[in-house]
Amino acid sequence: MLSKTIEETLNNQIKIEAESSQIYLAMAVWAEVKGLEGVSNFMYAQSDEEREHMLKLIKFVNERGGHAKISQLAAPNITFNSFKEMFEKLLEHEVFVSESINELVHISLEERDYATHNFLQWYVSEQIEEEAVARTILDKINLIGDDKGGLYLFDRDIENLTVTSASAEGLE
């Protein structure tokens, strides 16, 4: 059984994951309109992944005797000055999500809710990977600079981007 504190913080995380999905969906649409098909497809996939993260939390809350809440979401930003700015916002958002997950882990330990703590470890590892991907993308964008040919190759290759974070090594 979830404590009210844990239930409330998990419901807040459900909202954060839903908003993440919307933010990345807006980024996908922006990139698609700009002709960045690879970036767009990458962001559509990211949006889907965040929705899966939300659903996983919803199921957990309900299975533990809580009541998952579906709440109103903040409207995402729909325009960006550049695709570099878009990915900077993506990294900034992933850091925010990591901080939120870390706070949840802290609360679960304070509450001695070891089942929730154990469940959240997947999210901790996932966030390490998400931040690593965003940083790798920004490194590549910085390498490209203003090179249009580099942007073309980046857009083509981003769909196949794989980053193995230190937390994921040895888990395969």
Structural contact between residues 131 and 153, judged by C-beta atoms closer than 8 angstroms? no
Give the list of residues 6+ apart from residue 99 with CB closer than 8 angstroms, or none: none
pTM: 0.91
Q: According to the annotation, is 72 in a ligand binding site?
A: no
Q: According to the annotation, is 127 in a ligand binding site?
A: yes
DSSP string, the chain: ---HHHHHHHHHHHHHHHHHHHHHHHHHHHHHHTT-HHHHHHHHHHHHHHHHHHHHHHHHHHHTT--------PPPP---S-HHHHHHHHHHHHHHHHHHHHHHHHHHHHTT-HHHHHHHHHHHHHHHHHHHHHHHHHHHHHHHTT-HHHHHHHHHHGGG-----TTTTT--
Q: If we measure between CA atoms, which residue out of 69, 48, 45 comes closest to residue 57?
A: 69
- What the block records as the tokens of 144 is 């490209």
Domain hosting 55: range is 4-160
Give the span between the Cα atoms of 52 and 49, in whole angstroms.
Answer: 5
End-to-end CA distance of the chain: 32
**What pLDDT is recorded for position 60?**
98
**What pLDDT is recorded for position 172?**
44
What is the number of structural domains in the chain? Answer: 1
**What pLDDT is recorded for position 68?**
98
Q: If we measure between CA atoms, which residue out of 84, 70, 68, 71 comes closest to residue 34?
A: 84
Is there a domain that residue 92 lies in?
yes
Q: According to the annotation, is 17 in a ligand binding site?
A: yes
Is there a domain that residue 165 lies in?
no
Give the span between the Cα atoms of 166 and 116, in whole angstroms.
Answer: 23
Is there a domain that residue 80 lies in?
yes
Q: According to the annotation, is 46 in a ligand binding site?
A: no
Is there a domain that residue 40 lies in?
yes
Is there a domain that residue 103 lies in?
yes
The CATH number of whichever domain residue 98 belongs to comes to 1.20.1260.10
Is there a domain that residue 110 lies in?
yes
Profile the chain (172 residues) by mean pLDDT over runs of 10 residues: 96 98 98 95 96 98 97 96 95 98 98 97 96 94 89 86 56 44
